[in-house]
Amino acid sequence: MVQRFSRSLRFRFLAALGGVFLLALISLAALRKWGIFPALHKEERAVVIKELAQIERSLNISQQELLAQARDWAIWDDTYEFIQGNYPGYTDTNFSQQMFEEMRYQLMAFFNAEGDVHFLAGLNPATGQYHTCYTAERECRWMSGLIRTMQSSIKEDPEQGKSRLYAGTTPLMVASNPIVRTDESGPPQGWLFKVRPMDDEWLTIIEDYTGLPTTLAMVEGGINHDTTVTISGNTIQAQRYLTTYPLNEQLALGTQLNRTSYLASLETFRYVLLWTACLMLLVIGLVLLLLERIILKPLRTLTQFTQQPSVDPKGSSNLLGRGDEIGILARAFQQQFMHQQQLNAELIELSTHDSLTGLPNRRLFDQRLREVVDIALNTGQPLSVMMIDIDHFKLFNDHYGHPEGDICLQRVAQTMHDIATAYGFFIARTGGEEFSAMLPATTTIQAMEKSQALSHAIDQLQHPHQMSPVASYVTVSIGISQLDVENDMTPSGLMTAADQALYAAKAAGRHCAKVYTPSLANATISSHSAPS
């Protein structure tokens, strides 16, 4: 009897499950000690180091911003004349306490070609008083230590053009650049230094920008670029030691995170281990009874359903109506199947639309253009296209930065979309600052009217563009061409004609629209081939 029972499938299955259960307990205990806990701790360290790296990137961005400001002033012709003594009104025109407070400058120092002080302006950190001087004496005596450090820096590296962190009770961010003409011709005539304090206000800005608690502290010792992580109770702290000038001190940049999440994960995992063991015992007790009726047979039905979801709707309905795990799996599979179909549709949308502006992209525009050209050639109806280019957009990006450039593109694109919807034509983003529109059943005269409405709507945005020589706000230039039905013009030829018209609009001073004509094409070709 015992031998017969030992040969039964139930006993063998029970024995196998018992062995699996013991092996699982041992594996879970080993995984807990040598796998999960160290991995959670490593992840915790990685998280705090990653957050510290984000703060350091913000510091680097702040340094680059200050360096860019110093360079803008240093390669300005007015500054070049001032350092040579040819612009006596320079200081009255460009310096004020309000400017220093708004730009959060502590000091601006000008040195002549010999490295001597030419002019100083700054806010006394002890009193908050604004002073301008020609030597670091009297009311500007507080600048003397910084001036000596700057002069040492000039002697060490006359080329300058760098951003450094200066040691001090309050660490300082210092950017410097040689003073040259705007075209950067000729030798430097001096140096310009800009100083920004890394004080509590600066820390507040960094914390608001990153959303992370930030600390700064001066420490003694040699150069050490390593990152240290310290755990104290419910807090984990990371610090990175940055080089300062002079090199006898370091700046410790730090942040800290609460370890509540990590400790909760450890506790949760302990409960998971306990409940896993209990559930495995329960499963071993019930699996022999329920294996065939509740598991194997429904699983076979589920397998058929996953292989052919649309076949046997009655069987599918029974599966989806179940309240157990099999029903959950069936419903989850159906949801995943539907989600996959939705993702496929979204993928098609992403492949045909510009992610920044939401407008159709070049791929969809070219596809639609081929279809519309074929229709126009078959029906003889007019077809016009427009190429639109934002005027001097590179100058906009150089002055305001690429994030502001993206905002500008989004506002202009939304305005174009609104006009296109109102006037019934199709518009797409086909390049960086370039847009294209197709206007079925539209002549160039009608297209010109719509282009004027488009240009006027963008003018109404009054989006600032101080660097544009055309206007003080963002404008567009537009080239228009009409399909030559009689000569079977290709989509490529149609867009080439619009591009030539756009070139003519730019040549005419921008902020206007031009219609393609053969004479305009000849003029464009001549202009392209003329010596530069």
Minimal CA–CA distance to 436: which of 416, 450, 421, 456?
Answer: 416
Q: What values do phi and psi take at 43, rounded to 5?
A: -65, -40
Dist. CA 256–CA 233, nearest whole Å: 12
**Cα gap 32→290, rounded to integer Å:** 31
Vertex 43: Cα angle to 40 and 47 (nearest 5): 140
pLDDT tens digit sequence for 80-133: 999 999 998 999 999 999 999 999 999 999 999 999 999 999 999 999 999 999
Structure-token match 């709707």, residue found: 313
Question: Which secondary-structure segment (H or E) carries 194?
Answer: strand 190-197
What does pTM read for this prediction? 0.48
- φ, ψ of residue 392 to 5 degrees: the values are 50, 45
Cβ 492 vs Cβ 525: under 8 Å = no
The answer to whether the CB of 154 falls within 8 A of the CB of 169 is no
Radius of gyration of the chain (CA): 36
Residue 300 has pLDDT above 70, yes or no: no
Residue 343 has pLDDT above 80, yes or no: no
Query: 262-274 burial, b if ≥16 CB within 10 A, otherwise e?
Result: beebeeebeeebe
pLDDT number for residue 526: 46
Count CB-CB contacts under 10 A for residue 349. 10
First to last CA, the chain: 105
Token digits of residue 91: 């200081």
- Residues 148-184: tens digit of each pLDDT: 999 999 998 887 788 999 988 899 999 999 999 998 8
Give residue-wise pLDDT tens across range 54-90. Answer: 999 999 999 999 999 999 999 999 999 999 999 989 9
pLDDT at 202: 92
Amino acid at 226: D
Retrieve residue 84's tokens.
């040579």
Distance between CA atoms of 11 and 6, rounded to whole angstroms? Answer: 6
Task: Count how many residues are written for the chain.
Answer: 532
Higher pLDDT, 136 or 36: 136
Compute the C-alpha angle 371/453/391, nearest 5°: 85
- The answer to whether the beta carbons of residues 57 and 160 sit under 8 Å apart is no
| DSSP state at residue 186 | S
Residue 519 has pLDDT above 90, yes or no: no
From 157, 159, 150, 156, select the one nearest 193 (Cα to Cα).
150
Q: What's the confidence (pLDDT) of residue 452?
A: 96
Both tokens of 239, joined, read 């610090």
Q: What is the pLDDT of residue 221?
A: 65
Joined tokens for residue 405 = 């450039």
- Burial bucket for residue 240 (CB in 10 Å: 0-12, 13-18, 19+): buried
Query: 342-356, 370-384, 421-435: lowest mean pLDDT where?
Result: 342-356
Poorest-pLDDT segment among 42-51, 312-321, 360-369, 518-527: 518-527
3-state DSSP of 353-421: ECCCCCCECHHHHHHHHHHHHHHHHHHCCCEEEEEEEECCHHHHHHHHCHHHHHHHHHHHHHHHHHHHH
Tens digits of residue pLDDT in 4-26:
545 554 566 667 767 777 787 78
Ramachandran angles phi, psi of 498, nearest 5°: -65, -35
Position 310 scores a pLDDT of 57
Task: Give the Cα-Cα-Cα angle 122, 126, 132 (nearest 5 degrees).
Answer: 20
